[in-house]
Structure 1
Amino acid sequence: MRYVSLTLLTACAVTAPAFATQYLSPEQAQKLMFPEADAFRAQPLSLETAQMHQVEQLAGLPARSAQWRVVGAYKGDTLLGYMVFDDVIGKFELISYAVGVNPDASIRQVEILTYRESHGSEIRLPAWRRQFVGKSARSGELRIGAGISNISGATLSCTHVTDGVRRIAAVAQVALGR
């Protein structure tokens, strides 16, 4: 009987639902955000201490990291913009996302790459993500209730992704923008 109970318990654990969904690979997101690009070049970014302080001032959030995964999008020799990859905690799990940034440091597009929570995946809806387009760190509109609407049932995901986008907008303003 003990053997059967252990086997049943193991089977139940193995069949427990998993909620992680990968919507886009980084390469797919690049092509989606910059369809006119003919080249993508990795441009890892390391912020200096002074730049991290500037990011904190602009974003109103801790800079969190000096290292950022950035990819430049080019058409020939012309820079079209950047993609910045990041992860934030939803409620319990990581949300992987990418932010397309124009050369002037305004937001071009936000894409959710992987969502691992059981609730709140509505942040992937195009209407919610479109709210970020054209905004910048200096606009003051990259906050829930001040330019970005919340989604009931996805409050933490909305808040944390919005904070992450605001932080990336500040990084873009300080270190990437012209």
Structure 2
Amino acid sequence: MTKPLHCILLAAGAVGAPAFATQYLTAEKAQALMFPEATAFRRQDIGLTTAQMQQVEKLAGVPSRSVNWRVVAALKGDVPIGYMVLDEVIGKFELISFAVGLNPDASVRQIEILTYRESHGGEIRNPAWRKQFVGKRAPGGLAIGDGIANISGATLSCTHVTDGVRRIAAIAQIVLTK
């Protein structure tokens, strides 16, 4: 007995579908890269209150998206020298995992793309594009066309990662600075 053509095509598509996910860094390697002078790292996850979530949304101009955030404090001795916050955003169809290194004053120290799963737009990993974020704080200069240049062919990835960095910078400004 022969199988219907649509069953054959579905099976062929499922087996032959290309995979584009590339993991560039683990969280541990990213924190060491961002804070080479650190002598220790301490997990310091944060939970936002409703009021803090509203502040984040107002400052960042994007939804706060989550109550819980994965944060690692970078220490030199017992003194915090910065923080790394881990996040994921949708590129065009798939998740982009990234880390934002922050200075104690909530300015961006560095961003790293951990895993990129899209077939196009991986240029957001280029050092020149990521360097645009250094020294910026929420909300000023952290938007496509306002301090951050777009990459042709990677518009959604650029926009969503930039929005994510702005959200994290706002969280840092509201919760992590003292």
TM-score by length of 2: 0.93
Q: Percent identity?
A: 72
1:159 aligns with 2:159: yes
Distance in 2 (CA, whole Å) between partners of 1:60 and 1:11 is 44
1:14 aligns with 2:15: yes
Distance in 2 (CA, whole Å) between partners of 1:22 and 1:125 is 15
User: Cα distance, 1:13 vs. partner?
Assistant: 3.5
Change (3 A) 1:112 1:2: same
For residue 98 of structure 1, what is the amino acid of its counterpart? A
Distance in 1 (CA, whole Å) between partners of 2:2 and 2:161 is 46
For residue 46 of structure 2, what is the amino acid of its counterpart? L
1:65 match: secondary structure: coil
Change (3 A) 1:129 1:7: same
- Aligned pairs for 1:45-64 (under 5 A) are 45-64=46-65
Deviations 1:112-164 (A, max 9, x none): 000000000000000000000000014x1000000000000000000000000
User: Cα distance, 1:17 vs. partner?
Assistant: 1.7
Name the structure 1 match of 2:95.
94
The number of residue pairs the alignment matches comes to 176
Q: Which runs of 5+ in 2 are unaligned?
A: none
- Aligned pairs for 1:73-112 (under 5 A) are 73-112=74-113
1:31 match: secondary structure: helix
2:85 match: secondary structure: strand
2:165 match: secondary structure: helix
User: Cα distance, 1:47 vs. partner?
Assistant: 0.6
Change (3 A) 1:8 1:66: closer
For residue 170 of structure 1, what is the amino acid of its counterpart? A
Distance in 2 (CA, whole Å) between partners of 1:169 and 1:106 is 7
Distance in 2 (CA, whole Å) between partners of 1:7 and 1:61 is 44
For residue 155 of structure 2, what is the amino acid of its counterpart? T
2:141 match: secondary structure: coil
Deviations 1:54-94 (A, max 9, x none): 11111011111111000000111111100000000000000
User: Cα distance, 1:14 vs. partner?
Assistant: 3.0
Name the structure 1 match of 2:131.
130
User: Cα distance, 1:16 vs. partner?
Assistant: 2.9
Name the structure 2 match of 1:148.
148
Name the structure 2 match of 1:35.
36
Distance in 2 (CA, whole Å) between partners of 1:144 and 1:9 is 39
